[in-house]
């Protein structure tokens, strides 16, 4: 209804009327997202309440402590990093929260993108009507530029699915009405689109859909470390997932009358599958991804430690190009013993990532992290590579 009303208004409205209608629609879309996220949070907290009651009735103090700690963490942080995921019914509640929040973000982006498309069409018509009125024409052009340079609008256009064509074809827009997002051309020859794998140093870059399969790839929900960092989303985009190699993890099982146990000892290598997208700008050859890897002690979810910093040099990428690359990853030692009544854990487990994109001169272009707890550790300049410490025989927990 809102889009239909805006389209009808566009036939006769003045610029202030069009602008008021558009901004009201954007505010409504943002409010709808906030309400959807609030509902998802209420559902998850309700699931924690049910879980707490059931665990308390069962007398499982270890799980009860974890559930209460998770409630406190979630109420304070309001996010769902990979390190906070549990198991069983609670994991399903956490995954439901993640999906509901992702749907709310997609829905808002699609609403704002649709509103923007209708608004651009209305401004193009108005511009045609004011062709012989220089003052009015300049105001419309300025408003077009303002909208296309707005951070919220650029993020929505980058995230939204392609919009369906409008019922009424728009009049051919003047150049200013269809101006692309501002771009910074890469030095040297223009970047060519990637149609197949490209190797730079030790890394191979793939167009989306042509990367090798990864077993049990888990997507990471990346957050911006602060509000100002979100402005980069109109120019570049980052994505990350992880998959584990357990070939060096030995598992032993034994059972008999009155006893049963499973024991795992060895190491797990976690590889990050990273996505870089050039939404509004090209990327110069020699730009780098800086990947900070963090671990947490297997017996604690509240501590984390930086294990490694990996630098990945990228090829030149044209605007509109997305590439996928696998990191060399991080190997961590682990010990876990499952008895009839007790679980003993030692060593370290993967906690999360900070992913930063820098241009060849070391200027930060975009940066995100897999948990808000990592925001304070995000670097402001290109870091040096840092290799992980050798695997330790100790399985008692965190770093000393």
C-alpha to C-alpha distance for 106 and 99, rounded to whole angstroms:
10
Check residue 367 and give its pLDDT: 94
Q: What's the token pair of residue 70? A: 């998770």
Mean pLDDT of all residues in 240-256: 83
pLDDT, tens digit, 9 for 90 and up, residues 275-327: 999 987 899 999 999 999 999 888 776 788 899 999 999 999 998 889 999 99
User: Which pLDDT score is estimated for 82?
Assistant: 77
Same domain assignment for residues 149 and 248: no
Pair (276, 365) in one structural domain: yes
Answer whether residue 260 is part of any domain. yes
Mean pLDDT, all residues of the chain: 80
Q: First and final CA of the chain: distance in angstroms?
A: 61
**Same domain, yes or no, for 236 and 372?**
yes
Helical residues (DSSP H) of 78-210, grouped into ranges = 88-129, 134-148, 151-159
pLDDT tens for 83-127 read: 788 766 678 888 888 888 888 888 888 889 888 888 888 888 887
Tell me the residue range of the domain where 13 lies. 2-178
In a domain, 6, yes or no: yes
What pLDDT was estimated at residue 270? 93
What distance in Å separates the CA atoms of residue 216 and residue 228, rounded to the nearest whole number?
34
The predicted pLDDT at position 396 comes to 42
d(CA 366, CA 277): 11
Looking at 132-141, 207-216, 351-360, which range is the least confident one? 132-141
- For residue 398, is pLDDT > 50? no
Up-side HSE of residue 219: CA atoms within 13 Å toward CB?
A: 10
pLDDT band at 64 (very low <50, low <70, confident <90, very high): confident
Tell me, yes or no, whether 398 lies in a domain: no
Tokens of 248: 């060096």
Residue 28: per-residue pLDDT: 92
Rounded CA separation 51/49 (Å): 5
Q: What does the block give as tokens for 270?
A: 């976690």
The count of domains in the chain is 2
Pair 132, 12 in one domain? yes
Both 120 and 206 in one domain: the answer is: no
Whether 172 is in a domain gets the answer: yes
| 205 and 109 belong to one structural domain | no
pTM of the model: 0.52
For residue 396, being part of any structural domain is answered with no
Grouping H, G, I as helix, E, B as strand and the rest as coil, residue 20 is helix
Same domain, 136 and 208: no
Q: Which residue has the higher pLDDT, 343 or 200?
A: 200
Name the percent of the chain lying above pLDDT 70.
Answer: 82
Binning pLDDT at 50, 70 and 90, where does residue 243 land? very high
Domain end point (choices 117, 144, 178): 178
What is residue 392's predicted lDDT score, i.e. its pLDDT? 55
Q: 126, 144, 178 — which closes off a domain?
A: 178
Of 125 and 381, more confident: 381
363 plus 305 within the same structural domain: yes
Alpha helices, DSSP H only, in 326-388? none
- Cβ atoms of 116 and 100 closer than 8 Å: no
Q: Same structural domain for residues 205 and 98?
A: no
User: Domain check: are 15 and 113 in the same one?
Assistant: yes
For residues 97 and 43, is the Cβ–Cβ distance under 8 A? yes
Q: Examine residue 228 and state whether it is found in any structural domain, yes or no.
A: yes
User: Do 202 and 103 share a structural domain?
Assistant: no
250 lies in some domain: yes
Q: What is the pLDDT of residues 28-58, one digit of tens each?
A: 989 998 999 999 898 888 888 888 888 888 8
Q: What kind and span of H or E run contains 308? A: strand 305-313
In a domain, 147, yes or no: yes
Using pLDDT thresholds of 50, 70 and 90, give the confidence band for residue 67. Answer: confident
Residue 251 pLDDT: 80
Q: What is the pLDDT of residue 227?
A: 67
Q: Are residues 148 and 253 in the same domain?
A: no
């Amino acid at each position: 209804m809102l889009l239909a009303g805006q389209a009808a208004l566009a036939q006769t409205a003045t610029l202030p009327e069009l602008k008021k209608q558009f901004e009201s629609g954007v505010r409504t879309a943002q409010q709808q997202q906030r309400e959807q996220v609030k509902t998802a949070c209420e559902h998850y907290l309700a699931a924690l309440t049910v879980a707490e009651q059931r665990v308390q009735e069962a007398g499982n103090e270890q799980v009860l402590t974890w559930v209460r700690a998770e409630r406190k963490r979630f109420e304070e942080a309001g996010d769902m990093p990979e390190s906070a995921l549990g198991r069983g019914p609670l994991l399903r509640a956490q995954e439901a929260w993640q999906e509901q929040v992702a749907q709310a973000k997609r829905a808002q982006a699609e609403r704002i993108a649709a509103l923007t498309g209708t608004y651009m069409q209305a401004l193009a018509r108005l511009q045609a009507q004011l062709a012989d009125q220089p003052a009015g024409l300049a105001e419309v052009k300025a408003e077009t530029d303002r909208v296309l340079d707005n951070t919220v609008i650029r993020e929505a256009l980058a995230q939204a699915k392609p919009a369906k064509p409008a019922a009424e074809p728009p009049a051919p827009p003047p150049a200013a009405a269809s101006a692309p997002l501002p771009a910074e051309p890469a030095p040297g020859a223009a970047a060519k689109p990637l149609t197949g794998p490209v190797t730079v140093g030790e890394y191979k870059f793939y167009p989306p859909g042509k990367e090798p399969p990864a077993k049990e790839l888990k997507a990471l929900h990346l957050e911006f470390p602060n509000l100002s960092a979100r402005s980069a989303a109109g120019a570049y985009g980052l994505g990350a997932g992880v998959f584990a190699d357990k070939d060096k993890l030995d598992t032993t099982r034994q059972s008999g009358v009155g006893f049963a146990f499973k024991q795992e000892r060895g190491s797990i290598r976690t590889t990050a599958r990273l996505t870089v997208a050039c939404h509004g700008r090209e990327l110069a050859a020699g730009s780098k991804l800086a990947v900070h890897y963090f671990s947490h002690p297997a017996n604690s979810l509240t501590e984390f430690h930086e294990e490694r910093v990996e630098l990945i040099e990228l090829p030149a990428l044209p605007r509109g190009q997305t590439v996928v690359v696998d990191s060399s990853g991080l190997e961590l030692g682990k010990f876990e013993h499952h008895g009839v009544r007790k679980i003993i854990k030692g060593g370290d487990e993967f906690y999360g990532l900070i992913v930063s994109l820098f241009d060849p001169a070391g200027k930060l272009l975009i940066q995100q992290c897999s948990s808000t707890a990592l925001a304070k550790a995000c670097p402001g300049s290109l870091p040096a590579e840092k290799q992980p410490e050798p695997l330790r025989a100790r399985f008692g927990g965190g770093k000393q």
